Structure 1
Amino acid sequence: MVRGVYIHIPFCHQICNYCDFNKFFFHNQPVDEYIESLGKEMALWANDLQKAEIETIFIGGGTPTSLSVDQLDRLLELITTYIPMEHVTEFSSEANPDELTLDKMQKMREFGVNRLSMGVQTFDQDLLKVLGRTHSNDHVYEVINHAKQTDFPSISIDLMYGLPNQTMDQWKASLQEAFRLKIPHISAYSLLVEPKTIFYNLLSKGKLSLPGEDLEAEMYGYLLEEMQSHGYIQYEISNFAYVGKESKHNLLYWNNDEYIGLGAGAHGYVNGKRYSNHGPIKKYMQTIETGEQPLMMQKEVTNVEKMEEEMFLGLRKNEGVSLAKFEERYGLTLRDVYGKELDELLQRELLVLEDNFVRLTSRGRFMGNEVFQYFLK
């Protein structure tokens, strides 16, 4: 059953050097028309939305906070018109610190948005410039003050490590600043240099200096130690939260549950099929106008693929993969399908089997990608 909705806003006032998401410069884009197209796409999903029990909504991008207050008002009006809200417990929006004004936060709260996911990335001003970010630390502090004024229930920030020329001291300083602000949820990711990004072009020309694997592992180790000592629970490889502040929407992905994706370039998983929408805004909007779903690709997920996804998504969570849930979903025990792989990984002490769950060990978290490869047939 569908339990979540993702809504993509592909507009940015600034394109970051590391970003490979579907995004476009805000200037001269048909933003108002795009929002209306989103409403029409929601209408196309009306039957599925009414049958579902939607628990989480996530507005991502791009940059949702690149919208004006009036545009945000229209977007939220469409969302709350077409998406049944009675079961929604988490309504999140991504945000840039230098674009999230008090009036935008008030508008979000008016429509029930109760969680912000803010792209901070680092508290080091020099590294922010390297990333192509336009905000300052003062913008972050201002947003946190606005959150208190508007009684915002939860804020999450993203931090990144393994950045170009980043030192261990810079990483430590960013983490300590986040702890000082008592942010209830922190996502911390190592930099991945993706194709079609400015960083990728620089790397291919030998003009991007990245920390080595040893330093990156040291940064991750420091992250794990400090999160625990400051009262955060690690519930996924890169995600940490105070008790009860975990991201319910992201847990949908890691639990391999179904969700509807709306907007240009959005991905979804409904009725056993994974799909992606057209990425170019014009193509997306033109298809919507014909009354058809703006699908670029749709693929039925085979049972084998579902089991693979159950493993490499589920093992990202600290609780791991439930043996009982696996058997209930697929009619086979985990050992029936992956007995040989389990034995080898247990012997290498990269996995542990306890309390009817299989999960990564502390050592396994440092080698997660290698472990996941075992379950890809």
Structure 2
Amino acid sequence: MTIKTVAPSNMGKGIEWNKDEKKYEVSISENSGLQLNDNGELELRVSALESNQLRLLNGELYQGTKSSNHLLNLYVDAVNGVDITPTEDNGAGTRAKPLKTFAFALKQHEYGASQNIWLHENQTHIMSAKSSVSVSAGSILVQPYGSIVDSLLATSTNRTQVHIKLQTQGLGPVVQFNDVLLARDSVNAKNVRYYTPCIYLYCSLTFDGISMEQNLDFTISDPYGDTTIVSKGSMSRIACYQRAMFYFSRGRITCVGSVKTTLDSNILKEGFDLHNGMSGFGFVYIDNASTIMYNQTPSVNEIGCYYLADKGSGTAYNSTSLVGVLDSDATLCEWLSKRIYEFQVENQNGVKQALAPITNIPSKYLNVWS
């Protein structure tokens, strides 16, 4: 960088001659947007605010949806992986050096960017409510990888068919949602709410060829010893907000375990039915958001919880929330219509109509509602 040092405009203003070291010292204003790195080199300072979409990409300023090269495709192997923050140089997150947990991979998402996460086939990938992840603007596509996928792709380049075959054989990756988090109420410390979300979603997230499993093997108890009321917080595993989108395709949905409690009815808020598998717990919650099932989900068994969860203490479903299907599979339509908690259905001139959330499920599948 060349600086003119002899000029009336800059003499004595931020540029001084150091006679001992025989060099000029240049002062940098805090508001200039410039800084010196560890090597004493001048570089641009980029805001670290999460919502900032202006960033350095390959040494140049960039604003857009492309992820940095080392974050564009992240691989996760729950058995052989290691959770190391990926950089341009260390190779972490590549297929050769995969990450260990899905949660850690989600944390690497760049605000506003599009990204691919690949989960190793035939493995269970744990997501815990005790270490939940918040994912902001952008889009994430989650798909399977591994030697079985490779062999299937060798005979068919159609990933849709490959994912269906993988799931049909029961060899696809499974994201299992675990645990419950209990927290004191901010107003009354003796009131406790419990929360189950593992992912707080503010972007577009697609599971394609990925199965989901709800693990309800947890206990609602009094961790503080002085609780007077235990009430519902959020009852879902994926909580979608602010126009988030969750797409679920070509995957299985299963549920294991059952919720237990050590509390008596005087402490456990009235209206809970923890001994009934359909007690409001579910996979997805939407608030000004959408969730879509599509394209030949191979299996949706008689799971013991909802797909769209009880809102708990969240905002009530409204006209901007959407749940639907993108195919005409009758089994899927009927299954989904039974698993939307407190679906608001009204009988209009002998025909049942869904009031909220908005849905494209045909009215003939709403007959399960009285």
Q: TM-score, normalised by structure 1?
A: 0.26
Relative contact order, CA 8 A, sep 6+: which one is greater? 1
Structure with the higher strand share, 1 or 2:
2
Structure with the higher helix share, 1 or 2:
1
